[in-house]
A and B are shown apart, each in its own frame.
Chain A
C-alpha cells in the first residue's frame, strides 16, 4: 500500500505515474497501443462493456500488445459506444458507434496496420494544458 504522507511523496508518485502515462500516450519502441473505452452510464448502456471485453479477448488471442483503459464520458452521446485508439507515435483517434463488428474492423485494420476505418469522430475541443 502506497501511503502518501507528504508533498514530496505526492510529487514522487506523480513523477513516476506521469512517465507511465507519457509512454502510454506517445507509445514506445515496442509499439504499445492504447485503447480507451468511454464507460459512463450512457456508454455502458450502449454496449461499451461488451465491446471492451470483446476487444480485450480478441487482441489477446492475436497476441497484440494493447493496453485497455476505461474512462468517463467523452461527450459523444450521439455516437456511443465510443473508443479512442492511440497508436505508437500517433495522435489519438476516436471511433464512434463501435459495435462488435466495428471493433473487429478496428483491430484488424487500424490497430494491426494503421489503416483508418469509417466511423471516426472528429475531436473538436481543447483541454486546458496541465
Chain B
C-alpha cells in the first residue's frame, strides 16, 4: 500500500510535510513501516481542498487533511480497511462523498483532444501514430466521403480557428474549395510568436503526423495537391520531427501520388520563417513564403481567393489542424457537444507567470478562469493574491478578478476586452505593475511592427513613449486621454491584425486598472514596486545602527552618515540599484 501526500507548494504551506512525517512515524510505531510507504508527490492541482492524501491502490482521495487526522487514516483505513468518510471529497453538486478519485469532477477539468497523442506516442515513429488510430480519418475521407461531405462535417463541428481570430474553419475551407484554379495550396501556420506561447511547438514536437494527416484531408476537401508548413526557424526540434514525419509518411505511401489507392495526390514541404511576429498574419506569411518582405496586404482579396503564388490558399493554425482527424473519426456531432454554444471543442493554453503549475493544459471551452488558475494551475505562487491574467499576447488584454467566473470562449473574452489569441495565458499577482505590463507589450509591438502603415509604425511608438513617461513619474492626467484616443485611432486605421489589436493591452489595463495609472501619475507611486523611477530607498533611523556597510557599498556615494550615527540616502544621487538593501544586516532600508 502507498500513501501519497501532496508536496506541492500550496499543500506544503498547509503542513503536508508534517502530515507525511506523522504518517511515517505512526506507521513505524505500528510496525507497518515496511509494508506501507509514504510518498511525497507533486501538486495534484487541487490546492483549494489541500492538503491532499491519496491512498493507493484503492484511489481513495482525502482532502483538507490535518496533521491530527493521521491517526484516523492509519487506524481506520490502513489497518481496518474502512474509509475515513469525513475526509473524503464531497461532490459540490450532489453533496455525496466521492471515494474513488476517478469519479471526481475535478479530473474532468482537462480534456485532451488536440494534445491526445502528446506524451503518449513516439513522435518519430509513424507506426505508433497509426496504432493510435492515425491516418484512419484520412482513409475515411478518401474512401467514404466526398470533399463536400468533409467540408460539411467540419462546418457542422463548429470548429473555429485556434490561431486567435476564431474564424469558422469549415467556412474557410468552403470558400477555398469554391475558388477554381489549376493549383491550390494548403498552408499550416506554425509561426507561433506570442510571448509565452508554445502550444503549436508542443503539438509539432509531440504529434507531427496529426498535422500532416489533417493537411492532407484539407487538400482533399478543397482540391489542393500541395501543402506548405510555415514554421519559424527557432523551432529546430519541431522542424526536425516534421521532416522525419514527412519522410515516413512518403515512405508509407501516405503522402505522394495515389494515397491509399484513391488516386488522390498530396505532398507537404516546409518553409522557414525568420521569426518576425507579423508573419503570423496570413497575408504577410504568404508574402514571406514567396520570398518577399513579410508585410501584410489589404484583405480582400483573401488568401482563399488569391494567396500563395496568386492561387487560392487555405491557411490554418497547427492546433486547428490537430483537431481535424478526431472530428472526422468521431463525427461532428461528438465534437460540437463539447464547449459552449458558439465555441466548440477545447483550447490548449500555455499557462505561465506567477502560477504554481506552469504548463501546457487543454480545457473544454466554457471553463472559468478560476478553474484554470486554482484547480489546474495550482493557484498563485507563494499564496499571493491573483491580480490579472493576460491572454492573447500582444493583441490581447487582461482579465481581472471580476472575470474569474466568466466562461472562457472566443466571444466572452472579446467582451471582456481581451481575446483568445493563440493560447498564451500569463498569470499575474500583486507583484506585477499593470502600467509596466502594458509598456512591455507595446515594446514588443513597436519592435515587431513591419512599418508598412503609419498608425502601427508611428502610433504604437507614441503609445510606448507615453507609457514610458508615466512609468518614469512624469505623466499627466492628459496623457491618459491621449492614450485612449490614440489607441482608438490605431485600432480603426491600422492595416492588419497586428496593428488593429496592438493597443489592446493599453486599453484593457486602463479600463481595469485605472487607479494604478492614476497612482503613477498623481502620487508618483508604483504599488507593485516595479517602476524603478518611482521607488525611493529610505533608511529607518530607528533600525539603523550606523555600521556604514551601506555607505561603503553604494556605487554612487549617495549615502551619508557618521559611524554609529543614522545614515541618510540622497535620493537625487540614488540610482536604485538595491546594493544597500542587500548589505544592510539590520533591515533598516526599505523601498517606498
Contact = CB atoms under 8 A, between A and B. Distances in A.
A118 to B, nearest CB: 4
A128 B326 contact: yes
A119 B121 CA distance: 23
Contacts of B388: none
A118 B211 CA distance: 37
A17 B253 contact: no
A126 B42 contact: no
Given A72-B205, A77-B358, A10 B130 contact: yes
A72 B117 contact: yes
B252 A3 contact: yes
B345 to A, nearest CB: 11
A18 interface: yes
Given A6-B260, A78-B356, A116-B39, A124 B133 contact: no
A79 B370 CA distance: 22
Is the contact region of chain B dominated by helix, strand, or loop, or is it mixed?
Answer: mixed
Contact of A128 (B111, B123, B260): B111
Interface string B87-130: 00000000000000000001111111101111111111001101
B432 interface: no
A126 B113 CA distance: 9
B359 A77 contact: yes
A93 B113 CA distance: 21
A96 B42 contact: yes
Contacts of B132: 21, 130
Contact of A70 (B113, B124, B207, B362): B124
A109 B243 CA distance: 39
A72 B123 contact: yes
Contacts of B558: none
Interface residues on A, range: 35 or more
B37 A116 contact: yes
Contact of B206 (A2, A72, A125): A72
Interface residues on B, range: 35 or more
Contacts of B110: 124-126
A119 B20 CA distance: 13
Contacts of A124: 44-46, 106-107, 109-110, 376
Contacts of A79: 42
Contacts of A42: 198
A56 interface: no
Contact of A126 (B6, B107, B120): B107
A47 B127 CA distance: 27
Contact of A78 (B122, B130, B358): B358
Contacts of B128: 17, 21, 69
Nearest to A69: B122
A127 to B, nearest CB: 4
Interface in A85-118: 96-97, 115-118
Interface string A1-15: 111111101110110
Contact of B119 (A5, A9, A36): A36
Interface stretch (B135-143, B169-177, B296-304): B135-143
B119 A84 contact: yes
Interface in A58-85: 69-79, 84
B202 A40 contact: yes
A13 B41 contact: no
A3 B253 contact: yes
A38 B118 CA distance: 9
Contacts of A76: 42, 357, 359
A50 interface: no
Contacts of A119: 40-42
B421 interface: no
Interface in A1-57: 1-7, 9-11, 13-14, 17-18, 20-21, 36, 38-42, 44
B31 interface: no
B89 to A, nearest CB: 13
Interface string B200-217: 011101110000000000
Contact of B43 (A17, A84, A122): A122
B572 interface: no
A42 B209 CA distance: 20
A10 B43 contact: no
A17 B209 CA distance: 16
A122 B101 CA distance: 11
Interface in B160-218: 198, 201-203, 205-207
B139 A10 contact: yes
A41 B330 contact: no
Contact of A7 (B113, B143, B326, B356): B143
A120 B4 contact: yes
B360 interface: yes
A9 B135 CA distance: 12
B205 A73 contact: yes
A41 B54 CA distance: 32
Interface string B12-37: 00000000000000000000000001
A40 to B, nearest CB: 4
Contacts of B2: 116
B483 to A, nearest CB: 35
B79 interface: no
A117 B207 CA distance: 30
A73 B42 contact: no
Given A20-B131, A116-B39, A122 B54 contact: yes
Nearest to A13: B130
Contacts of B106: 124
Interface in B309-360: 326, 330, 356-360
A14 B260 contact: no
B68 interface: no
Contacts of B108: 126
A124 to B, nearest CB: 5
- Rank and list the top 4 A-B pairs by shortest CB-CB distance, nearest first: A72-B206, A125-B110, A17-B131, A74-B119
18 contacts: A4-B260, A10-B139, A11-B136, A20-B131, A21-B132, A39-B205, A71-B118, A72-B206, A115-B37, A116-B56, A118-B39, A118-B41, A122-B6, A122-B44, A125-B107, A127-B116, A128-B326, A130-B116
Given A4-B253, A126-B108, 5 more contacts: A72-B117, A72-B119, A73-B360, A124-B45, A128-B113
